[in-house]
Structures are given as C-alpha cells and as structure tokens.
Structure 1
Amino acid sequence: MVSGKEKLTKLHFFLNDILSGKKPSAVLVAKPNTTTDDSPTPFGSVYVVDDPLTDRPGGNVVGNAQGLYMSSGQDVLSLVLVMDFGFTSGEYNGSSISVLSRNPITETKRELAVVGGRGVFRMARGFAKLKTYYLNTTTGDAIIEYKVYVLHY
C-alpha cells in the first residue's frame, strides 16, 4: 500500500562503463555470427553490466547499475538498456530505480525512461537525461553523466 504525497527527487551521478582491462564492468555475453562490424558494440551484441556509479568522474562510488544492454541499431549506434540503478551510500542507500529504454548513444541529447524502483523509490516513474562525459571509441569505455527526475511516494 502506498501512502503519502508524491514527491519529485532529482539525482545526479556518473555511470562508469568499462569494457577493457583486467576487470571490466561490462562483458559481452552474446554476439551474432553475422556481424562483421569491428566497433566495441556491433549490432546484435548483448552485454551484462555491473557498472559503478560515482558522484563525479573519478569520484566516490555511490552505487552500481546492474543489468544488460544490447546493441539494437543497424544504421545508428543505439542500445536498449534494462538496468537497476542501486544506491549503496547516502540518503538513498538500499533504494534503486529501474530503467527500460532505448539509448541512441550518438545523439547529444537523449533520455531514458524510469519505469520503477524499490525502497525510497517504490512505484517510481520519470526520466533520465544523459550526456557522454568520456568515450574511448577504440575500447568502448565510457563515463556517462545522468540527471534523473523521479516521481515517487
């Protein structure tokens, strides 16, 4: 049962998606045998992630994003994300938001849909504005800035 007044919470953090090195935070788990693209995320590829969330680039870890993303665009690099953004410190420790959305990563302005949550963010809905802070086009490593607007009870 939900009680109380609906609130708007604004979150700001950085997702650190690392495909390279000895301890990557995202790993390729499926790749179609028809893909000849040499990019880090060719069409049809599926990655499982456990990406750290930080308060700033190179900053303190405030949580992690666990889930998967798949490369879904044939002509334009686009990912579909299914992720749980769980917070492990601060005011929202133990709570999370859930995202299920398309991420056209080559676009400057992009949004993801927040479709749920748990803990403080139970019955959440809203959106996340994304901006690429850092991208290594050779390895696929990226740092993405998230500004999230969540309605919840």
Structure 2
Amino acid sequence: MAKLGGILLIISLAAAMPWAQSFRVQSWAARVEGKQEMVTNLQFYFHDTVSGKNPSAIRVAKAPDTEKSPTLFGAILMADDPLTESPDPNSKLLGRAQGLYGSAGQTELGLIMAMSFCFTDGKYDGSSISILGKNSALTPVREMPVVGGTGLFRLARGYAIAKTHWLDITTGDAIVSYNVTVVHYV
C-alpha cells in the first residue's frame, strides 16, 4: 500500500509540474536592473501602550526571574502599535508597528527589537520597512538598522533614529519619535 501511495505522489507531482512552471517568479535581479536607488526620509510617531484595557503591546513570555530584575530581563512583548503623523494619539494614522521586542539587558534597559513598520496611508500604503536591533530605550537618542522592506521599500536598507517623546515610567507606556532614512529602488 505504501508503494502505491509513493507512485501516486510521483504521478501527481509530475502532472503538476507544467502547471507550476506557468507561475515562474521573476528573478529579483531583473526587478531592480535599470532601476535607480532612492533615499527616502520618513518621520512618524510610535505609540506603545502596555497598560489599560486595550494595550497595543502585551507580554507573551518571561523568564523565572524577570519580575526580580530592574530591567525586566527576559520579558518578551508582542506589539501592534499605531504609527501616527504627530505625537497626538488622535493624529492621522500612517500605519502599524507589528512585531516583538524583549528585554535583553541585565544591567540596562536594552530592548532587542524585531519590528515591521507597515504603512497604510498615502503612496506607501501596503509597503513596510523592517527594523532589527538593539534599542537602548532610556538613552535620549538611539539608532537601529533597517534590514529590509516590502512594496515600495523592497530591498531596503538604512537606519532609524528613535527619540522618546513621552514615557510614563510607572506603566511603561511611551510615545517615540522615529526619523528613518531608507535606501531603496524606484
């Protein structure tokens, strides 16, 4: 019976190959060949709310000693934070910051961030940029790398400068200004 199943699988795969080949994906090199590099500067505000009835970031894991740590070392949070035009939470929504961050520092509040800034407005609607790196959250100005993107930001690289605009040290809620420089192709 197993032999018959294997034969049927091979026949099914062989029959599907011509159909699958009709969906050839254009190579990435051909998509950027002849295109110009462009530098785009973006400015927006990240609203991270960990308190209240409707938080935009929630703790999904922690280490056994996380609560004893002054830096909450080992805590991991999943975020779906609004990105707005100004620090006012009611200002124009530009997109969402979706991803995770965790406390990776034992002696300082050093967050490791893996976040996609997904834009939902204007010419960047449907495009995203990805940040991956250390965020020394209590440092006035910090820099993180842009490691990729989608849509208009496909093959993006660059950097993000983050500055805390407002922080409630009791709850951990924060509004952070982001200035992002992205190199991509047009």
Out of 143, 146, 151, the position equivalent to 2:175 is 143
2:63 to 24, 28, 32: 32
Unmatched runs of 5 consecutive residues or more in structure 2 = 1-30
Please give the per-residue CA displacement for 1:112-144, whole angstroms capped at 9, x wherever unaligned. Answer: 100000000000000000100000001000000
1:43 to 73, 93, 97: 73
Give the structure with the higher percent strand: 1
Q: Distance in 2 between matches of 1:7 and 1:107?
A: 30
Query: CA contact under 8 A between 2:69 and 2:106: conserved in structure 1?
Result: no
**Cα-to-partner distance string for 1:4-23 (whole Å, 9 max, x where unaligned):** 11000000000000001111
RMSD: 1.2
In the other structure, the counterpart of 2:37 is: 6
Report which of the two has the higher share of helix. Answer: 2
Of 125, 147, 150, the match for 1:115: 147
User: So what's the TM-score if we normalise by structure 1?
Assistant: 0.96
Distance 1:118 1:35 in 2: 35
Q: Secondary structure at the match of 1:36?
A: helix
Give the AA of the match of 2:75: S
List structure 1 runs of 4+ shifted beyond 3 angstroms. Answer: 36-39
Amino acid at match of 2:132: L
The residue identity in structure 1 corresponding to 2:67 is T
- Displacement of 1:91: 1.5
The letter for the 2-side match of 1:49 is A
Q: In the comparison of the two structures, how many residue pairs are matched?
A: 152
Larger Rg: 2
Runs of at least 5 residues in structure 1 that lack an aligned partner in the other structure: none
Q: Aligned partners of 1:36, 1:88: CA distance in 2, in Å?
A: 36
Percent identity, please: 50
Q: Give the structure 2 partner of residue 133 of structure 1.
A: 165
Match of 2:52 among 21, 29, 33: 21
Partner of residue 57, structure 1: 87
Aligned: 1:84 with 2:116:
yes
**Distance in 1 separating the partners of 2:77 and 2:173:** 13
**Larger relative contact order (C-alpha < 8 A, sep ≥ 6)?**
1
TM-score (normalised: structure 2)? 0.79
Shift of 1:35: 2.5
User: Take 2:92 and 2:69, find their aligned partners in 1: how far apart are those partners?
Assistant: 33
Q: What code does the residue aligned with 1:86 have?
A: C
After TM superposition, give the deviation of residue 38 of structure 1 in Å. 6.8
